[in-house]
A and B are shown apart, each in its own frame.
Chain A
Amino acid sequence: MTTSSTSAPLPQPFRSARARRLNLSWVNIKLAIGATMILAVLLFGLIGPFFWDTELAYVGSSPRNLPPMWAEKGRADHPLGSESMGRDMLAQLIVGTPSSLKVGFIAASIGLGVGLILGSCAGYLGGRVDTVVRTISDSVVTIPSLAVLVVIAAFVKMTDTTVMALILALFAWPGPTRVVRAQVLSLRERGYVRMAQLSAASVPEIMFMEMLPNMLPWLAASFTGGISGAILGATGLEVLGLGPTRVPSLGMIINYATTASALLRGMYWWWFPPMLILMIIFTGFFLITIGLDEIANPRLRGVKA
């Protein structure tokens, strides 16, 4: 394998029992833990509605200000309690979680899609196209996104998560563009790209069949980083009360909790659970991203026989 520059022995790559069986030799521990966390949160949101009545997430559906079931006055039919408008906590979490994840996913996907197109054109075609794309993406990156988002959100009527995702996508594309462009620039000089050109391959063929497969780890890392960033932006807007009002989301729950002074009232069951889920989401995506980064780099070093 690769030799390191220190004299300490290289740690053997971690392999869980399942990884050994499936020969997933590229899985490392950060990726595994992060993926598990996100999977857990995802399942919670997707499978939850089959086990719990999501109607309870709406105003007035439950008794108000109920503490969770392990406290006195708590009831078993509202295990995590309820808040001042009569919404059951567990139901809110079950509905709000996928909504937050959805925003992140859509925004990051749009960002990656745009980034792929712009970045490839800029990197492969070079010249003026490259200069234009680079200037714009580098400028957008420096704009303080939350401030601008707040202004936009104040004017645009946010009815649902898709609209929000589109607005967030405005800031999600420069990152992937730069990553893709850097990758294309370096891959463009590779021998196999030359061979493909000699085989009269068309430009899309070269981009998608030759270069893209070798960019996957970087793209994946950029994507998960993008999801994380989009959820952060969305949550930021929601906590400030600028998110979609129809559908409960984790950020909105926190917003209601803040406006109703839940902290001062000691209603920890109101503000803590959404925060906990958000922490799990962010940490999970962070671990996946750095796990993928680790895979992306040794793969490069290990490629030469």
Chain B
Amino acid sequence: MAEPILQIKSATKTFGGGFLDPNPPLVALKDFNLDIYEEPARITTIAGESGSGKTTLANAILGFLPLTSGQILYKGIDIYSMNRQQRLAYRKEVQAIFQDPYEVYNPFWRVQHIFDLVVRRFGLAQTKQEARDAVEDALNLVGLRGDEILEKHPHQLSGGQRQRVMVARAYMLRPRLIVADEPVSAVDASLRAMILDIMLRLRDEHRISFLYITHDLSTAYQIGDEMVILFQGITAEMGQTTQIVENPKHPYVQELIASIPAPNPRRKWATEIKLPPEDVMRFGNPNSCRFYPRCPHRMEHCLNAQPPLYKIDTTDHEAACFLYDPQASR
């Protein structure tokens, strides 16, 4: 097995709780571990609701948010202690596309500007013609043409076009990994397939891996190979996407999947669900299992510690729940 290209070791990020802060500290991410391999190229989904820590994780990986503890290693080097050269290499290999396809454009410049920046900084072309060709090539990959895109201002393009241009920009660098933070949430439903299809093609034809961050399990099921489900900063379950969706093990994941509204009017939600008031759940006991207040299978035991990830059967399917503790005596 090849070396992982990106290793996240015990990543923890805490906000607030300092000397002058009356609120208890918010643990956005706790002891998160993940290894991302570049061969074979794959789409790894980081799924979670708001407050799960997925955005924190994305920002940390992209170098925007130093961790409180733990490390993010790129080819063995901690990304927050890289020198300039190493940083540049990292940026070339790990790129991103974001949720809001408007915000990521500088309204002052034409679309051409974002490509100029990338060409210049990473030395992607020696002459103007080479640069033009490289840009055209990238745009064609996403189904666009330079003459209809480059001279326009961002507000003159549609949301789907803007998002595709962002993918083209990332592709120009031929990265190993693209962090896609909710790339289709702000795009119309009928156009989402176009972007997701591009992601699949990049994986299959260009061997680019993705870290697909989303709250929408349906799209994750359609394109994800592996999945990690976060809940309040902890990994609740991880493994092959199909396994998790078809056979969820962690009670939270079971609840989550059961709550997805089926687009079939003859199949309504099975039971009524009742949640304890949500404000109780956030600042509960930091040492217990995060899901305790809502868990239909909770035990005494679960109040004492956050369960670690246990393997389910012999596959790479793991769930952080004492129900799967092989040593538990019931």
Contact = CB atoms under 8 A, between A and B. Distances in A.
Asked whether the complex places CB atoms of A and B closer than 8 A, the reply is yes
Interface of A: 190-192, 194-201, 205, 209-210, 213-214, 303-305
Contact of A200 (B91, B100, B105): B91
Interface stretch (B114-122, B191-199, B290-298, B311-319): B114-122
B181 to A, nearest CB: 10
B236 interface: no
Contacts of B63: 197
A199 B91 contact: yes
Nearest to B109: A213
A16 to B, nearest CB: 25
A202 to B, nearest CB: 9
25 contacts: A190-B103, A191-B102, A191-B104, A192-B103, A192-B105, A195-B98, A195-B104, A195-B105, A195-B114, A196-B117, A198-B91, A198-B95, A199-B114, A199-B117, A199-B118, A199-B121, A200-B91, A201-B117, A201-B121, A209-B117, A210-B106, A213-B106, A213-B108, A214-B108, A304-B102
A106 B302 CA distance: 71
A213 B109 CA distance: 9
Q: Tell me which of B91, B106, B117, B121 has the highest count of chain A C-beta atoms within 10 A of its own C-beta.
A: B106
Contacts of B155: 303, 305
B62 A198 contact: yes
A219 to B, nearest CB: 13
Contacts of A197: 63-64
A201 B84 CA distance: 11
Contacts, number: 54
B205 to A, nearest CB: 23
Contacts of B92: 200
B96 interface: yes
Given A191-B100, A191-B102, A303-B107, 8 more contacts: A190-B103, A191-B105, A197-B64, A198-B96, A199-B114, A201-B117, A209-B117, A213-B109
B305 interface: no
A200 B88 contact: yes
Given A198-B91, A199-B91, A200-B87, A192 B117 contact: no
A196 B169 CA distance: 12
A305 to B, nearest CB: 5
Interface of B: 62-64, 87-88, 91-92, 95-96, 98, 100, 102-109, 114, 117-118, 121-122, 155
A200 B64 contact: no
Contacts of B104: 191-192, 194-195
Contacts of A303: 107, 155
A191 B117 contact: no
A300 to B, nearest CB: 10
Nearest to A192: B106
A210 B100 CA distance: 18
A196 B62 CA distance: 12
B103 A191 contact: yes
B65 to A, nearest CB: 11
A46 to B, nearest CB: 32
A210 B285 CA distance: 45
Contacts of A200: 87-88, 91-92, 121-122
A54 B98 CA distance: 64
Contacts of B114: 195, 199
Nearest to B159: A305
Contacts of A305: 102, 155
Contacts of B64: 194, 197
Contacts of A195: 98, 104-105, 114
Contacts of B103: 190-192
Nearest to B158: A305
Nearest to A213: B108
Contacts of A205: 117
7 A-B pairs closest in CB distance: A191-B103, A191-B104, A213-B108, A192-B106, A200-B91, A305-B155, A199-B117
A198 B96 CA distance: 8
Contacts of B88: 200
Nearest to B92: A200
Contacts of A196: 106, 117
A206 B83 CA distance: 19
Contacts of A191: 98, 100, 102-105
B69 to A, nearest CB: 21
A146 B39 CA distance: 71
Q: Tell me which of B63, B102, B104, B122 has the highest count of chain A C-beta atoms within 10 A of its own C-beta.
A: B104
Contacts of A198: 62, 91, 95-96
Contacts of B105: 191-192, 195
Contacts of A194: 64, 98, 104
A191 B100 CA distance: 8
Contacts of B62: 198
Nearest to A189: B103
A200 B106 CA distance: 16
Contacts of B117: 196, 199, 201, 205, 209
Q: Tell me which of A197, A201, A305 has the highest count of chain B C-beta atoms within 10 A of its own C-beta.
A: A305
